[in-house]
A and B are shown apart, each in its own frame.
Chain A
Amino acid sequence: MHTPRAIASLLALALAGPALGSLVEASSVEDLARRSDTVVRGKVERIVYDRSADGKRIFTYAEVVPSGVWRGAAPARLTVAVSGGVVGGIGQRVIGAPTFTQGEEVVLFLSRSKWGDYRVRGLGQGKFSVVAGQARPHLEGLSLSRRSALRAGERGAEPMAVEELERRVRAAR
């Protein structure tokens, strides 16, 4: 029953070396797209914070309105859940997790959880900020493996023109 997960885990470990505080592999844009349920370009309309039941952990929910769906399907408004945030004067962060700013234009590589919200693929690798036509991944706090070899012709999660990012996502097979 859990064999596919086990195989995926084995493959991930066999193909890529470890990294600290982040994913084992440094993903290519194309690989992020392949592993995502949906890839959208959009705007962060609203940010709300939440706490765990014991009050010790803080969560952020970014409500994003897609202006373009580059892969998969997406509703007119979606909620992206990440750890960390600011509540009651207390700030918290999981190192390597993406953060959001209201009004920010973003490209997001997302998986849909069974609770209906979305998770960013590959921590900060899966969140690009778009400014003046340039898309930059949120690599702050991320550790990436140097052993991972990208497929020929693919590019890692790195700054690039948003048009190139879209082309790569749409072309990923």
Chain B
Amino acid sequence: MSRLLRALAACALLAPAASALAFARATTDRTELPSPALDLWWRPRQIAFQVNASDFVGAGCAGPEEAAAAVRASFPAWQDAASGGVACTDFMFNDCGATTRTDLGYDQGDPGNNVNLVVFRRGLCSLHADPLCQNPPLTARGRPDFSACIAKYNCWADDDRDHGSNTIALTTVTWLQATGEIVDADMELNGWNGDTSNPAGVYFTCTATTTLCSAVPYGASGCADTDVQNAVTHEAGHILGLQHVCTGAGDETGPCPAGGSVMEATADRGDLTKRTLTQDDVAAVCGIYPAGGRTVTGPTTGLPGQPAAQILVGVSSPQSCPVPKRDSGCGAGGGGALALLAVLPLALRRRRARRS
């Protein structure tokens, strides 16, 4: 399949029904310059990620390995987006293997040490008596910093600013304010603490079944509660720079796609529908990151069909796997170079397959 053909397929997907599309793009902070806000976008077409499922507990998935596998199974939905049987994006999530890292955010001083992380937290930080969690160190402005508590216990920082105990997953996206280029994205999953008498966290499951777990699901298996793949596929849309459908700029509402979307802002227990992209989702990823074409970005209102003053960015080299600093080279999961070696044949196979 030639680049040109794939680019045409992406265009064909978007051109006839631009007004019917409902996907919305996330933007830079509207409270700061530049104004208007800029769309968020990735420069590399291949971004690297690592998974830390080492603290996953619960029979909803058959151990940390299956939970991590469910995370990994979520990303291909986006990178395999196709229109009329033709791949219409070349955006890829490169698996850099397992890690024991727990840190979020972006290290501006050491970009090579950053990782796009998917991490299962276990239990609430507030339940740890450790002073690091009860009286954490303070930031320069005298406010609590739970980073050390999180690093020690890989817990859900429920006393932190936005980590309510009844939140399932949070995605933190970091970008360059001047351009909207995303430089890091991390996903936290608020996992069950493994305690049936004093449960905290969310009961994640991996089974594709319509049988719901009981209302108090802890310890149940073979049933669906909060499906990992469903949740991560949705969050991966945020990582790509997508906003929820049916929302618009700021507090406004926007159009909803007739065929539904992975990026809908609602989800029921046992929901599996978000494992699979809809036409609107395909239009989103292929419209922004068209196969063989340039990344579409620029000032926007956040609504489709209003891509004023677009900047078209050429494809750049793939994002590298992080250089391991906190993991030992041969540690759990074998992060870093070993993981890269393991992944390389897969990535090469995939590229070959796309070219055929």
Of residues 1 through 55 on chain A, the ones whose CB sits less than 8 Å from some CB of chain B are 2-3, 5-6, 8-10, 12-14, 17-25, 47-48, 50-55
**Bound CA span A23–B168, Å:** 7
| B141 close to A61 (CB less than 8 A) | yes
Are A90 and B106 closer than 8 Å at their CB atoms?
yes
CA distance A50 to B142 in the complex (A): 10
Chain B residue at minimum C-beta to C-beta distance from A159: B251
Task: Flag if B244 contacts A143 (CB, 8 Å).
Answer: yes
Contact B169 A21 (CB under 8 A): yes
Q: Tell me how far the C-beta of A59 lies from the nearest C-beta in chain B, rounded to whole angstroms.
A: 6
Inter-chain contacts of B271 with A (CB < 8 A): 18
| A144 and B216 contact, CB distance less than 8 A | no
A23 near B29: Cβ-Cβ < 8 Å: no
* B215 at interface by CB-CB < 8 Å: yes
Roughly how many angstroms separate A9 CA and B330 CA in the complex, as a whole number? 38
Chain B contact residues: helix, strand, loop or mixed: loop
Among B91-99, B174-182, B339-347, the stretch that binds chain A is: B174-182
Residue B352 is within 8 A (CB to CB) of chain A in the complex: no
Task: Judge whether A90 and B176 touch: CB under 8 Å.
Answer: yes
Contact yes or no, B198 A2, CB < 8 A: yes
In the bound complex, CA of A46 to CA of B244 (Å): 29
Contacts of A144 in B (CB 8 A): 265-266
| C-alpha gap A36/B205 in the complex (Å) | 32
- Give the size of the chain A interface in residues (CB under 8 angstroms): 73
Contact partners of A140 in chain B: CB under 8 A: 243-244, 247, 250-251
Give which listed residue, A24, A85, A92, contacts B168 with CB less than 8 A: A24
Asked if A59 contacts B161 (CB within 8 A), the reply is yes
Q: Name A123's closest neighbour in chain B (CB-CB).
A: B162
B137 partner residues in chain A, CB cutoff 8 A? 53
A91 to B173, CA, bound (A): 8
CB of B108 within 8 A of CB of A90, answer yes
Q: Is B107's beta carbon under 8 Å from chain A?
A: yes
* Smallest Cβ-Cβ distance to A88: which chain B residue: B108
Query: What chain B residues lie within 8 Å of A67 (beta carbons)?
Result: none
A138 and B29 within 8 A (CB): no
Residues of A within 8 A of B202 (CB): 13, 18, 24
**B contact residues around A136 at 8 Å (CB):** 251
Chain A positions within 8 Å of B309 at CB level? none
Best-buried of B109, B172, B203 by chain A (most CB within 10 Å): B172
For B161, list chain A residues within 8 Å (CB): 59, 81-83, 97, 119
Residues of B within 8 A of A142 (CB): 244, 265
Nearest CB in chain B: distance from A43 CB, A: 15
B19-41 interface code vs A (CB 8 A; 1 in, 0 out): 00000001011111000000000
Q: How far is the CA of A6 from the CA of B144 in the complex (A)?
A: 24
Kindly specify which of A68-76, A99-107, A164-172 makes contact with the partner chain: A99-107
A55 to chain B, nearest CB (A): 6
Task: Confirm or deny: B327 has a beta carbon within 8 angstroms of a beta carbon on chain A.
Answer: no
Among the stretches B49-57, B80-88, B230-238, B276-284, the one at the interface with A is: B230-238
Interface string of B115-147 (1 = CB under 8 A from A): 000000000100100000000010111011101
A2 to B109, CA, bound (A): 41
**Docked pose: A120 CA to B183 CA in angstroms:** 27
Chain A residues lying within 8 Å of B203, measured Cβ to Cβ, are: 13
Residues of A within 8 A of B268 (CB): 17-18, 145-147
Could you tell me the distance in whole angstroms from the C-beta of A146 to the nearest C-beta in chain B? Answer: 5
4 further A-B pairs in the complex, CB-CB below 8 A; given A83-B160, A89-B177, A99-B29: A21-B235, A55-B109, A90-B176, A91-B32
Chain A residues near B (Cβ < 8 Å): 2-3, 5-6, 8-10, 12-14, 17-25, 47-48, 50-59, 61, 81-86, 88-97, 99-102, 113, 115, 117, 119-120, 122-123, 129, 136-147, 159
- Chain B positions within 8 Å of A, measured between CB atoms, are 26, 28-32, 103-109, 124, 127, 137, 139-141, 143-145, 147-148, 159-162, 164-178, 183, 197-200, 202-203, 215-217, 225-226, 231, 234-235, 238, 243-244, 247, 250-251, 265-269, 271, 274
A selection of 18 A-B contacts at a CB cut-off of 8 Å is: A13-B166, A18-B225, A20-B267, A21-B171, A21-B238, A24-B202, A52-B105, A52-B147, A53-B145, A57-B104, A81-B161, A90-B108, A91-B175, A94-B171, A95-B170, A99-B29, A141-B26, A146-B267
Which 6 A-B residue pairings sit nearest by Cβ, starting from the closest?
A: A56-B105, A136-B251, A57-B105, A6-B198, A17-B269, A24-B166
